[in-house]
């Protein structure tokens, strides 16, 4: 099972991907995470991408598609892929078709998480994560059970993304509408698009996704 999780910044793609990885044995391929790792490691890609990301603009199609291609090469054949935050442009969608063919994988479903704009700004403004293991939290909606302590790994250090500010979020939302949403019709023609109410609580969104893709045993 290979799926695309599509949705504007803050829709819950990373949150739902983490659950699918943990409970469903899938692998998350997040171009945002890959780019942040490249920035942290100060690779040549990272050095080029940093300013673009901080401004809420899109990194080049060639760079992100090359990252996805490399990650797929390293993915065990039987592991299902979750494409999180990729593709984001019509050209990337075209490149993904070629990459999937090369790796002998099929795209089974495109799941769009729908969340209204003001909620997105609120979600992104309150987003933070564990500095140690990356577990995601929110100032109002998803706080650690013991204040200041990560539920998953027990660490006490947290971090926020430099691009998670209201100004940049508006820019990213605008790019989602102009560049990313227009790729949906392509997948609609193939009959593989499902829309899910991303305003629902995390558990409920997860249940709806699992209902769509089936439990892991159904894939064998
Ligand atoms: P994306 O990967 O789509 O940008 P995230 O998964 O990082 O989005 O979620 C954005 C923020 O909203 C995070 O702080 C996360 O904890 C929170 N969040 C995610 N899903 C929900 C939900 N269903 N209800 C409330 N808050 C959520
Ligand atoms: P979010 O889910 O909150 O929108 P991501 O972590 O997916 O954020 O992406 C963060 C930033 O990384 C984007 O604003 C963009 O600059 C860059 N980026 C990530 N994925 C892509 C992509 N597929 N194409 C172009 N740029 C990307
Ligand atoms: Zn942690």
Per-residue pLDDT tens for 19-51? 999 999 999 999 999 999 999 999 999 999 999
For residue 52, what are its two tokens? 């673009």
Cβ burial of 51 (10 Å; 0-12, 13-18, 19+) is exposed
> Is 80 a pocket residue for ligand 1 (Cβ < 6 Å)?
no
- What percent of the chain shows pLDDT beyond 90? 96
The number of the ligand nearest the C-alpha atom of 151 reads 3
53 lines ligand 2 (CB under 6 A): yes
**Residues assigned a catalytic role:** 13, 88, 127, 161, 172
Q: How far apart are CA 113 and CA 85, in angstroms?
A: 12
**Cα separation, 54 vs 203, whole angstroms:** 31
- Ligand 1 contact via 50 beta carbon (within 6 Å): no
Give residue 115 CA to ligand 3 midpoint distance, Å. 26
Q: Would you say the pTM of this structure is higher than 0.85?
A: yes
* Closest CA to ligand 2's atom 9: 32
Backbone dihedral angles phi then psi of residue 125, each to the nearest 5 degrees: -65, -25
Rounded mean pLDDT of the chain?
A: 95
Question: What pLDDT, on the 0 to 100 scale, is given for residue 220?
Answer: 41
DSSP state of 195: E
- Which pLDDT does position 218 carry in this prediction? 53
| Sign of CA pseudo-dihedral 199, 114, 50, 98 | positive
Q: What is the pLDDT of residue 28?
A: 98
Is there an atom of ligand 2 within 6 Å of 13 CB? yes
Residues lining ion ligand 3 (Cβ < 5 A) are: 130, 132-133, 135, 150, 152-153, 155
Could you say which residues of the chain have pLDDT below 50?
Answer: 219-220
Q: Is the Cβ atom of 85 under 6 angstroms away from ligand 2?
A: yes
CA of 52 to the centre of ligand 2 (A): 10
């Amino acid at each position: 099972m290979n799926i695309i999780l599509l949705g504007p910044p803050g829709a819950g793609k990373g949150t739902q991907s983490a659950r699918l990885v943990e409970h469903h044995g899938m692998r998350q391929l997040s171009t945002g995470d890959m780019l942040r790792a490249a920035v942290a490691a100060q690779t040549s890609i990272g050095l080029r991408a940093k300013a673009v990301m901080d401004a809420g603009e899109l990194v080049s199609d060639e760079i992100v598609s090359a990252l996805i291609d490399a990650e797929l090469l390293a993915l065990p054949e039987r592991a299902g892929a979750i494409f999180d935050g990729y593709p984001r442009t019509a050209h990337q969608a075209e490149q993904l078709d070629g990459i999937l063919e090369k790796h002998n994988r099929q795209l089974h479903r495109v799941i769009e998480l729908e969340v209204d704009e003001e909620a997105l700004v609120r979600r992104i403004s309150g987003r933070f994560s564990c500095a140690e293991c990356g577990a995601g939290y929110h100032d109002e909606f998803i706080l650690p059970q013991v204040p200041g302590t990560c539920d998953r790994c027990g660490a006490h250090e947290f971090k926020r993304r430099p691009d998670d500010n209201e100004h940049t979020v508006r820019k990213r939302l605008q790019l989602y509408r102009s560049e990313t949403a227009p790729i949906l019709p392509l997948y609609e023609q193939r009959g593989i698009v499902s829309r899910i109410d991303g305003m629902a609580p995390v558990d409920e969104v997860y249940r709806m996704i699992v209902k769509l893709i089936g439990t892991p045993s159904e894939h064998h």
